[in-house]
Amino acid sequence: MPHRLGPMQVLPSPVRRFADHETVDYCVVGVGSAGGVLVQRLARAGFRVVGLEAGPFWDTEKDWVSDEKGSHELYWNDLRITGGTHPLALGANNSGKGVGGGSVHWAAFAPRFHPSDFRIYSEDGVGADWPMSYWDLKPYYELLEREIPVAGPVWFPWGDPHGHPYGPHPLGGVGDVLVRGCTKLGLRSVAGGPVAILSASHGDRPHCIYRGFCLQGCKVGAKASTLITHVPDAITHGADIRAHSMAARISLRGDGRVDGVIYIDREGKEHFQRARAVIVSGYAIETPRLLLNSACPGHRHGLANSSGTLGKYLMAQAGNVVAGRFDELIRLYKAPPAHALTEEFYETDPRRGFARGFAVQTVGPLPVAFAKQMAVAMGAWGWGMRRVMMDYNHWATLGVLGEILPWEDNRVELAEEKDQHGLPVAKVTFNLHDNDKKLIEFGRNKVMEIMWAAGAKQVVQESRYAHLVGAARMGSDPSTSVVDKFGRTHDVPNLFICDGSILPTQGSANPGLTIQALAARTADYLIRQGDTIFYSSRRDQEEPGIRYDLSPPYTHFKGNPRIA
Amino acid sequence: MSRRSFPCRATGGELRDLEQPGYYPGYSTLAQKKSWEEATRKTVTERVEKTAPIRFFSQEEAALLGAVVDRVMPQDDRAEDRTIPVLSVIDERLYKNSLNGFRYEDMPPDQEAYRLAIRAIDEMAQSRFKESFTDLTVHRQELILKSLHDGKPEPDNAVWHRMPLHRFWALLMEDCATAYYSHPWAWDEIGFGGPAYPRGYMRLENGLPEPWEKDEQRYEWNEPIDSLSQLEDSH
Amino acid sequence: MTFTLTTALERSADRNLPAPLSSAVVTALEHLREGCFQRSLCLIVAATSIASGLEVGYEHYKGSYSNPVMYTPVVLSGALAAAGLSGMLSRLAARTLLRWVSVITLVDGVIGFFFHVRGIARKPGGWGLPVTNIVMGPPIFAPLLFGTSAYLGLMASYLRREEDLDRPAQHLTEWFEPQSSDWRMNLRHGRFQKHLSAVTVLWAFFSGVEALYSHYKTNFRYKAQWTPVLLTPLLMAAGVGAMKSRRIANTALPAVAALALADGAAGFCYHARGIVRRPGGIKKPLYNILYGPPVFAPLLFAACGFLGLVASLLRREKK
């Protein structure tokens, strides 16, 4: 049986395997949103690349189901400890395990960050500035929007206004509510995107079928994940992607350079993959955990942690869900959960009394998720739960996506407990600060207002958090950041970090597209630097210049002409 | 486990043994399983056909938690052979140590949390009504559970000082909701479309039913009038 | 002498209309009957191909031009509109440019039909889920319907011009088609009633099926959505009858065709209203035209009625 990646796409074979004693050029830890793009780019450029992935290599037809409970294995379910004044729910909420990582079960909203997100310290005096600007990343946004590709409106009016290569999707009942509510209040909204879901077939990936199971892994292959967008091309070009390989430590040589990764395979056996450079792409919890677990003489507080900021400045976005009950039927389970939004409140407005802002987006919880929300939002239990769920088809749900600022005390550390491999697990601490609380309060009330304006008869809300970024932030000052603007650690010249954890701030946009754009840019940098990465410590901080010839197939000559 | 303990008075008559509660009479997601693909069909049919044996909880624990679950996710209106297994799903998760990927720093592991809570609930029943929780009338069971739901355990118990009550309540609700609303019979009750691949949806707006779905037929449904678990604003 | 529609119309116009108007009607009918309406048909071709170009333009925008072949109908619509306009101005353009552009466009429609069939096959479940995938896949008959204006263009290229009505056969101008075969002679002289009736039947089938499944998609929420579905078999029956009998061609066909024309016009209004009533209404014009009820689709159905009406006003083929 061929290994399937959707109804038409098949994993290319054979898959290259490097022998245990071989030294590769790059060892990428974590083949998720960033890792998938990195592995693909580097393999295409002719490097010898190994991608270590802790989870399985999904066969979408065999392993995934069109069912909420049956999709439990998509998430990082190993133990983590969560605490602080506002502890984050982890697991299904913000993690992935398996090739494709979290992009397997993201809702696929793919907005860009605004230009202001890159300089909130200069503009608003809060958080931190990025060591780069929006304009450095813009060409990568445009390229990735074609590669994934992103469907959306022809004109997206916020931030740096732009169009999308694939046409918008039809609205479902929840999108109708968002558009109706916003229009009533005189707010602009966009419909049918921007989402990384196909609104037309794309090579051997079919058009979306509007089944609403985005968060359970898209069996259709319409929703982009690096598993189907970049990994097949990486394998065609000779990348070795090893599933069920849990990185335990990064090995540091006496000369202060890393020389490989120690990982544990499915049977619990330890291996050492030698590499001339290592890139960690384990996302905001596993990345700091791996580096903290790799502490060694000379790096007593964790590898590449001379600044003491590794694990700190962790961010999640406010993700309050506002549910409204309507007299008419909505059937919120149809259409992708992500399909309409407004960013009218994205930027700082001094009149509101807090810095930064939020977006309002559609969400589409399936019955189990919705029942859990109702248990919190309405305190429903017993007969009350049965009753409110009988009205499931009358509810619509909108989400706040609010920017929470980076704070030093929001962090990832090592806990006492060990996981099944004997590695200390991560302990995540999260606290809300004054600005965050004001922002959430305002955002929640605004979304409730939109819900009322759309005609809801009852409106309730649940506080929750979405996405995870930060914890190994980039910056130009080695004493306050972990990596430079290309993801290279300040402390170790051939150790890189490239994933959501390097974001200094997070905006109110879903981070997926930005993470992939950053990965493509880092890859271009590595390719341009060539072999010097492997022996030199010289830091070239010049922009590499974008490479258009390293995209996966079907990228060019596809999609609507861009008007902006 | 005895379930049928309510006086079963509901608006518009008695709470009856229904094949299918809800506003979508005759709707069956399982009838559509021919149009699901292999992997999903297997997962969902196994859920309906196989009930896992109780392996984690002791017999007494299972009896008590069973009584709790019967009030937290009551099914007195469902016919005996159309009852959705909840307890066995919780038991299986704990037995297999299938975690949700995290644990609150102030919470013990899930297994221990359930054992502690079961003990606490039984002690509460003993000290308030001098009877085991399983032997209490439904009303008295609900009095105890309502006090847990409200975060003001009545009577108080030492366990709730070691383990935050609201977190245990959330854990219990999540487990019960997952077990109940992942079952196709619950999908029929609430009018959810069920698995949808390779066949997706074509009527996305205005709440229109797909050809195989049913339109809603509302009638006045009310929980038992004397239940304490009804929603505050439902009457 | 059996009832003929044109005669009846002429007589009624004579009796009931004031002089300049009645003679205009009579002349128009005569032009039709004699096949001397090349210029008018060219104009219609130009107008309809602009409309269908707009429609295919936004429909393929929805489909994201994910295959470069999707640009061809858009480009060809523009070319056909230009050819139609130039055909209106020049006899030579009508007989050469318009003819060839029409043929290419028709071929493109057939190619598009195959691509749309393939598109349905490539959806999850493919032809194993015919209902869902026809409803949600690329509109199966749309590329053939897109050929309507090209087909009219092809016919126009064989017609005589309005000013030829009073002149004797212009052999000199026909130097480029020395041996006119029978069907060409028939076309030139407006003798293609059976032919056009057959075309009406075919096109009614295509657009009727489109109306059926797209109204099925919205569960026939409005009773009016049944009308094109019910009119289609009637129109097809009338068309088939018209191929067999002159009588039906002069009675039932124009009656049903006029109904279809009116229904299409009403549908156009309903669809426009549907767009305005969508969330966001006229504040989101682009999106709501894209995903509201397709505003041009009822006009396609009306076009079938138009074809039927024209057929009823023509003369029958000469044996």
A116 phi and psi, to 5 degrees? -70, -25
Helix axes C226-244, C193-217, angle to 10 degrees: 160
Query: Per-residue confidence at B123, pLDDT binned at 50, 70, 90?
Result: very high
Residue C30 lies in a domain: no
Q: What are the angstrom distances between the C-alpha of B120 and each of A4, A209, B73, B74, B117?
A: 50, 49, 20, 21, 5
* Among A519, A536, A2, A546, CA closest to A232: A2
d(CA A352, CA A344): 13
Produce one character per residue of A124-140: b if its CB has 16 or more CB atoms within 10 Å, e if not.
Answer: bebbbbbbbebeebbbb
Q: CB within 8 A of C190, min separation 6: which ones?
A: C32, C33, C34, C35, C36, C159, C314, C315
For the record, the structure tokens of A121 come out as 């310290």
* Among C69, C270, C290, CA closest to A192: C290
Q: C99-104, long-range: CB within 8 Å, 24+ apart, which pairs? A: C99/C153, C99/C154, C99/C157, C99/C158, C101/C76, C101/C150, C101/C153, C102/C45, C102/C150, C102/C151, C102/C153, C102/C154, C102/C157, C103/C150, C103/C154, C104/C76
Q: Kindly list the residues from chain A whose CB atom is less than 8 angstroms away from the CB atom of residue B220.
A: none
**What domains are there in chain A, each with its CATH number?**
23-535 (3.50.50.60)
Task: Say if residue C209 is in the same domain as residue C257.
Answer: yes
Q: Which domain holds residue C130?
A: 35-162
Query: Per-residue confidence at B183, pLDDT binned at 50, 70, 90?
Result: very high
Task: Say if residue C123 is in the same domain as residue C205.
Answer: no
Classify C6 as helix, strand or coil. Answer: helix
CB C219 within 8 A of CB C212: no
- Residue B92 contacts A, CB cutoff 8 Å: no
Task: Say if residue C40 is in the same domain as residue C136.
Answer: yes
In a mutational test of the A interface, the residue from B197, B202, B203, B223 whose CB has the highest number of chain A CBs within 10 Å is B197
The answer to whether the bond into A168 is cis (omega within 30° of 0) is no
Residue C7 lies in a domain: no
Identify the bridge partners of residue B78 per DSSP, sorted by sequence position.
Answer: B18
The pLDDT value recorded for residue A502 is: 97
Task: Say if residue C134 is in the same domain as residue C197.
Answer: no
Residue C53 lies in a domain: yes
Residue C4 lies in a domain: no
d(CA C246, CA C315): 9
Q: How far is B28 from chain C (nearest CA, A)?
A: 19
The pLDDT value recorded for residue C179 is: 52
Q: Kindly list the residues from chain A whose CB atom is less than 8 angstroms away from the CB atom of residue C279.
A: 171, 175-177, 179-180, 183
The pLDDT value recorded for residue A94 is: 87
The pLDDT value recorded for residue A374 is: 96
Q: CB within 8 A of A117, min separation 6: which ones?
A: A130, A134, A505, A506, A507, A509
Q: Kindly list the residues from chain A whose CB atom is less than 8 angstroms away from the CB atom of residue C62.
A: 167-168, 199-200
A neighbours by CB contacts (3+ pairs under 8 Å) = B, C
The pLDDT value recorded for residue C164 is: 79
Under DSSP, the state recorded for A169 is P
- Residue A456 contacts C, CB cutoff 8 Å: no
Task: Say if residue C200 is in the same domain as residue C318.
Answer: yes
Task: Say if residue C225 is in the same domain as residue C110.
Answer: no
d(CA A68, CA B212): 21
Query: What is the residue type of A413?
Result: E
Task: Say if residue C215 is in the same domain as residue C285.
Answer: yes
d(CA C123, CA C131): 12
pLDDT at B12 over 60: no
Count of helices and strands (H, E) across chain B: 8, 3
Residue C27 lies in a domain: no
CB nearest B203 (choices: C128, C131, C219): C219
Task: Say if residue C196 is in the same domain as residue C140.
Answer: no
Q: What is the pTM of this model?
A: 0.92
Q: Beta strand B13-14 with B9-10: parallel, antiparallel or unpaired?
A: antiparallel
- Residue A557 contacts C, CB cutoff 8 Å: yes
Tally B–C CB contacts below 8 A.
28
Produce one character per residue of A300-322: b if its CB has 16 or more CB atoms within 10 Å, e if not.
Answer: eebbbbbbebbbbbbbbbbbbbb
Q: Kindly list the residues from chain B whose CB atom is less than 8 angstroms away from the CB atom of residue C221.
A: 206, 208
Task: Say if residue C157 is in the same domain as residue C196.
Answer: no
The pLDDT value recorded for residue C149 is: 86
d(CA C115, CA C111): 6
Q: Give me the number of domains chain C comprises.
A: 2
Tens-place pLDDT, residues C128-181: 889 999 999 999 999 998 888 899 999 999 988 888 777 655 554 554 454 556
Residue C68 lies in a domain: yes
Query: Per-residue confidence at B20, pLDDT binned at 50, 70, 90?
Result: confident
Residue C295 lies in a domain: yes
Q: What is the pLDDT along chain A (564 residues), one digit of tens a residue?
A: 889 999 999 999 888 999 988 999 999 999 999 999 999 999 999 999 999 999 999 999 999 999 999 999 999 999 999 999 999 999 888 889 999 999 999 999 999 999 999 999 999 999 999 999 999 999 999 999 999 999 999 899 999 999 999 999 999 999 999 999 999 999 999 999 899 999 999 989 999 999 999 999 999 999 999 999 999 999 999 999 999 999 999 999 999 999 999 999 999 999 999 999 999 999 999 999 999 999 999 999 999 999 999 999 999 999 999 999 999 999 999 999 999 999 999 999 999 999 999 999 999 999 999 999 999 999 999 999 999 999 999 999 999 999 999 999 999 999 999 999 999 999 999 999 999 999 999 999 999 999 999 999 999 999 999 999 999 999 999 999 999 999 999 999 999 999 999 999 999 999 999 999 999 999 999 999 999 999 999 999 999 999 999 999 988 888 888 776
Residue of chain B nearest C125, judged by CA positions: B198
d(CA B49, CA B45): 6
Contact between chains at C291 and A168 (C-beta distance less than 8 A): yes
Tens-place pLDDT, residues A190-244: 999 899 999 999 989 999 999 999 999 999 999 999 999 999 999 999 999 999 9
CB nearest A390 (choices: B72, B200, B221): B221
Q: What are the angstrom distances between the C-alpha of A473 and each of A35, A313, A411, B115, B189?
A: 17, 7, 12, 42, 48
**Average pLDDT, rounded, for chain B:** 89
Q: Which residue bears the tokens 């767009």? A: C275
Residue C6 lies in a domain: no
Q: What are the angstrom distances between the C-alpha of B132 and each of A309, A333, B66, B137?
A: 54, 42, 13, 10
pLDDT at B116 over 60: yes
CB A100 within 8 A of CB B78: no
CB nearest A368 (choices: B142, B178, B227): B178
Task: Tell me the residues of chain B between 206 and 235 that have a Cβ less than 8 Å away from chain C.
Answer: 206, 208-209, 211
Residues in chain C predicted with pLDDT less than 70, given as ranges, are 1-2, 167-181, 319
Q: What are the angstrom distances between the C-alpha of C111 and each of C73, C140, C150?
A: 10, 12, 14
The pLDDT value recorded for residue C162 is: 83
Q: What residue segments make up the domains of chain B, in order of their start?
A: 27-190
Contact between chains at A329 and B40 (C-beta distance less than 8 A): no
Contact between chains at A558 and C122 (C-beta distance less than 8 A): no
- Residue A154 contacts C, CB cutoff 8 Å: yes
